[in-house]
A and B are shown apart, each in its own frame.
Chain A
Amino acid sequence: MKIFGYELRLLWRDRAAWILTALFAAVSIYGLTNGAGLAESLSNATVQIEDSGRKFDAQVRELLARQNLDPRQVARQPLPAVLPRAPLPALAAGQADLAPNFEMISLFRLEQQTDARSELENPSRLLSGRFDLAFVLIWLFPLFLLALAYDLLAGDRESGTLRMVLARGVAPWRWLLVRTLARGMPVLAIALAATAATAFVGDPSGALGRMGLACGVVAAYGIFWLALAALVNGFAKSAASAATAVGAAWVVIVLVIPTWLNLLVEGLHPIPSRAELVASAREASGAAERRGGEVVDSFYKDHPEWAPATKQVDFMARALAVQEEVGRALDPVRERFDTELSNQQRIVERWKYVSPAIAAFEALTDIAGTGYWRQRAFKDQVATFKDTVHAFYSPRIHQKRVLSKADISTLPRFEFAEENAAGWRMRTVWAVLGILGLAAIAITLAARRLSARALATLTS
C-alpha cells in the first residue's frame, strides 16, 4: 500500500503523465458527446415514421369500433416496424449507423427484395468509423495505459533505482504490479467515469444495470493491458525494447487479430450473393405469375379452408397466392443467408478471446444494444411480424371476409421485444471473465519471471 501511495505521488509530479491524462480525458469527453449525438439523430429519424404508424393504427381501431372495413383497403397501408432507441447508445455506435432501424411492412410486398433503408451517410465515414466512446475505450485507452506504464522496471534499472529498492527486501513482482496499477489508476478512473456517464445521456431508467456491467468490461480490459505492461516490463532489457514490445502487442491485439479474423470469418462462411437473391426472387415471381391460374388452384388445394365461397378469384387473392409461391421458392436462399451469418458470429464468439479487444468490443456493443444480437433480434422479429401480417390478412382476403369489431384485438402491430436480460448478462459476464483470465495469465507469467531471475539478473 505504501508503494501504491508513493507511486501516485510520483505520478502527481510527472508532467508527462499529467499531459497524457488530460489528453485522455479530452478524447473521452469528445467520444462520449459524439456518440450521444449519433444516438440522438438516429432516434429522431424514426420518430416521424413511428408516429404515422401509430396514428394509422389508432384510426383503423376507431373505425372498426363503428363499422366493418375491407381488409384489402387496410392491408394496403404499409406498417412500420421500428427498432426503438438502443438501451445505452452513447456507449458504442456499433452497427447503428449502418444497419437499418426500421422497415415498412406491406402485405402485398412481403417477398419484395427491397433494401430496408438506413439513414443517408457518406460511405467514407462508415469506413473510418465513428469517434465514439467505444473507439476511445477499445483503441485508445490501452495506448494511454501502455504509455504510462511500459518502462517502469526498465527505466528503474537504467537509472539504478531498482537496485536500491530491491536491497530493502521488497518482492520485485509485488513492487512492479503495485506500481503498474498505480500508474494506470488515473486513466482507468477516467475511462470508468466516461462509461458511467453513458447511463445519464438520455433516459437512465433501465440503463444503470447495463452501465454497471459496461464498467466491469472496461475495468477488466484495463487490467488486462496493465498486466501486459507488467509482463513486458519483466522481460524487456531496455526502455526502447519495452516500447517496441508493448507497441507490437497493441498492434497485434487491436489491429491485426481482429481484422484478420474478420477476413477469415468471411472467407470461411461467405454470405451468399445478394445479387443472386434479387435476381432469383424475380425469376421465381415471374414463373409464378406466368403460371397464375395454376398457382391459385394449387394454392386452394393446400388451403381449402381459405378458398372463397364463390369460385371467383379476385386480383388481390391471386397476387397473394403468387406471393406465397415466391416465398416458398426463396425460403431456402434466405435461410442460407441466416445460417452463414450465424456461422460467422459463432466463430467470432468462439475466437473472441484470442484478442481481448474483440471480446471487449463485442461486449460493449452488446451492452449498448448496437451490436449483432439486438440487430439479429430485430431482423427475426420483423420476419415473424411479416408472417403475422400474412396470417391475419390472407385468409380474410381469400374468403372475402370483412374486418369487424371482433378483429380489433388481433390487428397486427409491431412491438419490438427486448431480449431478456439474462441473455446479454451471461454473454457479458463470460467476456469479463475471459478478459480477466487472460490478465491473470499475464500476471502469473510476469510474477514467475520476476521471482526466478529477481535479484540475480535484474540488478546485474
Chain B
Amino acid sequence: MIFAIARKEFVDAWRDGRFRLGAFVMVILLATSTLLAWRQTERTTHERAAATALERENWLGQGQKNSHSAGHYGVNVFKPVAPLSLFDRGIEPFVGTTLFLEAHRQNQAAFAPAQDATAMRRFGELTGAVGLQLLAPLLIILLAFGSVAGERERGTLRQVLSLGVSPRALVFGKTIGLGAALACLFVPAFLLLFGALSSAEWVSTADVGARLGWLALVYGVYLSTVLFVSILVSTLAPSGKSALAILLAMWAAGSVIAPRLASDVVHASMPLIALADFENEMNEDLQKGLDGHDPRSKRMEEFTQRVLRENGKARVEDLPFNFRGLAMLESERLAGEVFDHHFGRLWDRIDAQDRAVTFGGALAPMIALRTVSMGLAGTDFGRHRHFAVAAENHRREFVRVLNEDVMKNASPENQAYAAGRELWEQLPVFALDDVGLERVLERARLAIWILIGWFIASGMALFWAANRMKASAA
C-alpha cells in the first residue's frame, strides 16, 4: 500500500506545474552558477600556481647575499584553492590568500578577495551549496505543504482513511513518493558534478570523490529533515494555507535570520581581540617574554653566557662558529613561542566562536549544515588555520636553514660572506599537505550529530503525527 501511495505522490509531483517550474528554474540557476564557479575556481588555481612559480624564480634569482638578508627578502606563499570551493565557497572570499614569510615575524594572510569586490558581494554568492541550503528547502515546502492538509481540505483524506488505509501508510507513502521526486532532481546533479570533477585535470586532491560522497549524504539528511518537517506541519495544520504560512515563516527564521543572529549574538558574548591590542600585546611579549619577567636582552645575555660556558671560551669571537647566527636561531625560537601563544589564542577564539554558532544548529539546522558543508569543501576556518600553521612551520624551517648557514659560514674572518643560488635551492617550495578527510569529519562531528538529531527527531515526530491522525480524521 505504501508503494502505491508513493507512486501516486511521485507522479502527482511531476505533474504539478508549480513544482516543474520551480525545479526547472532551480536546475537552470544552479547549472549556470556552477559553470561560472567552475571557471573561476579553475582560473584561480592556475593563477596561484603561476604566482608560486614566479615567486620561486624571484627567490632563486635574488643573487648573492648574506643568508640572513635573504631571510628578510623572504618569500610569499599562496593559499592553494580547494577544488570543491566551486560547490561551496565558504569563508574563502573573506580570508587572505597571500602570506609573506620573513625572518623575525609571523604575518597574517593578506588580500581577501572580497576586499577587491563591489558591495554586492554582501548579498552572497549563488553557489551549489547556497542553492541547496536556501532554495531547495523552498522547493520542498512548495511540494509538501499541501500533501496532507490539502487532502483534508478537499475531503479526500476522510475518504482514503475510510477505505481502511492506515494513516501511517498514507503519510509514509507520501514521504517516500515526494522524496523520490526530489531525488530524481538532486541525485543526477551530484553524479554529474562527480563525473566532471573526477575527469578535470586541474583537480589535484585525491579525496574529492569521497568528500563529494559525504556532501551528498549530509545534504540528503538535511533535505530529508526539511521534507519530514514539511509533511509534519501539513499533517498538523488546519489548512493548506496555514501550513504554507508556518513553513515559510520557519524557513525565513531558520535560513535568513538565524545565521546572522547566531553569529552576532555569539560575537557579542565572546568578542574577538582588537587588532591594535593583539599587536601591542604580542610586541610586548616579544620584548619581555611570555612570563613578563625577563626582558629579551637579559634572556639573550644568559644564553650567551651559557654557550660560552659550554664551549669553554671567554669571548664570543673565540667560538668556532659565528655566534650571531646562533643568537638569531635562539631569538627565533623565543619569538616562535610568543607567536604560537598569541596566534594560537586568537585562532582558538575564532574556533570557539564557530563552535558556539554551530550549537545554534540545534534551533536552525541550516547553520549546522553550513559548518559541515564548508568543512568538506575545504573552505572553512579549519583549513585556513591549517594553511596558516603549515606556512608558519615552513617559515621557521626556512629561517632556521638560513641562520644556520650564517652560523657555519659567516665566520669573523669571512665578514663579506654571501650565499648564493645553491643555498636558495636547498629551500623547498611550500606545498600544502591538505587536511585529511578524517580530520575534517572530526572537526564537523558536533554539526553532523546535530543534523542527525534533527533527522531522527523530525522522523519520530512525523511518525507520532501519523498515528495521531487516526483519531482526529475519523
Contacts and interface: CB of A to CB of B under 8 A. Distances in A.
A joins B in a complex: yes
A125 B111 contact: no
Interface in B403-451: none
Contact of A255 (B110, B121, B135): B135
Interface stretch (A127-135, A202-210, A226-234, A398-406): A127-135
Interface string B37-50: 10110011001101
Contacts of A273: 44, 47-48, 50-51
A59 B127 CA distance: 54
B90 interface: yes
B76 interface: yes
A110 to B, nearest CB: 17
Nearest to B261: A131
A238 B94 CA distance: 44
A159 interface: no
A262 B113 contact: no
B377 interface: no
B18 A251 contact: no
Contacts of B54: 276, 279-280, 283
Interface residues of A, number: 80
A87 interface: no
Contact of B123 (A49, A361, A370, A372): A361
B263 A262 contact: no
Interface string A318-358: 00000000000000000001000100110010000000011
A279 B18 CA distance: 52
Given A131-B264, A275-B47, A275-B48, A263 B125 contact: yes
Nearest to A34: B264
B276 interface: yes
A143 B252 contact: yes
Interface centre among A119, A139, A256, A270 (most CB of B within 10 A): A256
Interface centre among B78, B121, B134 (most CB of A within 10 A): B121
Interface in B22-55: 22, 29, 32-33, 36-37, 39-40, 43-44, 47-48, 50-52, 54-55
Interface string A246-288: 0110010001101111111111001101111011101100100
Contacts of B256: 139-140, 143
Interface centre among A100, A125, A270 (most CB of B within 10 A): A125
Nearest to B54: A279
Contact of B353 (A119, A122, A131, A256): A122
Interface string A113-127: 011011111111111
Given A258-B123, A279-B51, A247 B248 contact: yes
Given A114-B110, A247-B248, A365 B43 contact: no
B474 interface: no
Interface residues of B, number: 90
A95 B110 CA distance: 17
Contacts of A255: 123, 134-135
Contact of A260 (B126, B241, B259): B126
A86 to B, nearest CB: 13
A444 B342 CA distance: 62
Contacts of A166: none
B307 interface: no
Interface in B220-259: 240-241, 244-245, 248-249, 252, 256-257, 259
Interface stretch (B58-66, B157-165, B187-195, B455-463): B58-66
Contacts of B50: 273, 275-276
A339 to B, nearest CB: 12
A417 interface: no
A126 B125 contact: no
A123 B119 contact: no
A123 B95 contact: yes
Interface string B322-334: 0000000000000
Nearest to B89: A127
B241 A240 contact: yes
Contacts of A115: 96, 98, 108, 110-111
B114 interface: yes
Interface string A417-443: 000000000000000000000000000
B130 interface: yes
A190 interface: no
A140 B275 contact: no
Interface string B378-420: 0011001000000000000000000000000000000000000
Contact of B51 (A114, A147, A275): A275
B119 A365 contact: yes
A125 B37 CA distance: 22
Contact of A262 (B120, B249, B257): B120
B241 A262 contact: no
B350 interface: yes
A362 interface: yes
A372 B119 contact: yes
Given A243-B244, A273-B48, A276-B47, A123 B111 contact: no
B91 A263 contact: no
Contacts of B33: 260, 263
Nearest to B272: A120
A126 B94 contact: yes
B204 interface: no
B119 A371 contact: yes
A122 B124 CA distance: 17
Contacts of A135: 260
Contact of B58 (A279, A370, A372): A279
Contact of A275 (B29, B98, B267): B98
A239 interface: yes
B43 A344 contact: no
17 contacts: A41-B274, A114-B100, A122-B263, A126-B114, A255-B135, A259-B125, A261-B120, A262-B123, A267-B36, A274-B98, A275-B51, A282-B55, A290-B63, A337-B116, A341-B118, A344-B117, A370-B119
Interface of B: 18, 22, 29, 32-33, 36-37, 39-40, 43-44, 47-48, 50-52, 54-55, 57-58, 61-63, 76, 78, 90-91, 93-98, 100, 108, 110-127, 130, 134-135, 138, 142, 145-146, 240-241, 244-245, 248-249, 252, 256-257, 259-264, 267, 272-276, 278, 346, 350, 353-354, 357, 380-381, 384
Interface of A: 27, 34, 41, 45, 48-49, 94-95, 98-100, 114-115, 117-131, 135, 139-140, 143, 147, 151, 238-240, 243-244, 247-248, 251, 255-256, 258-267, 270-271, 273-276, 278-280, 282-283, 286, 290, 337, 341, 344-345, 348, 357-358, 361-362, 365, 370-372
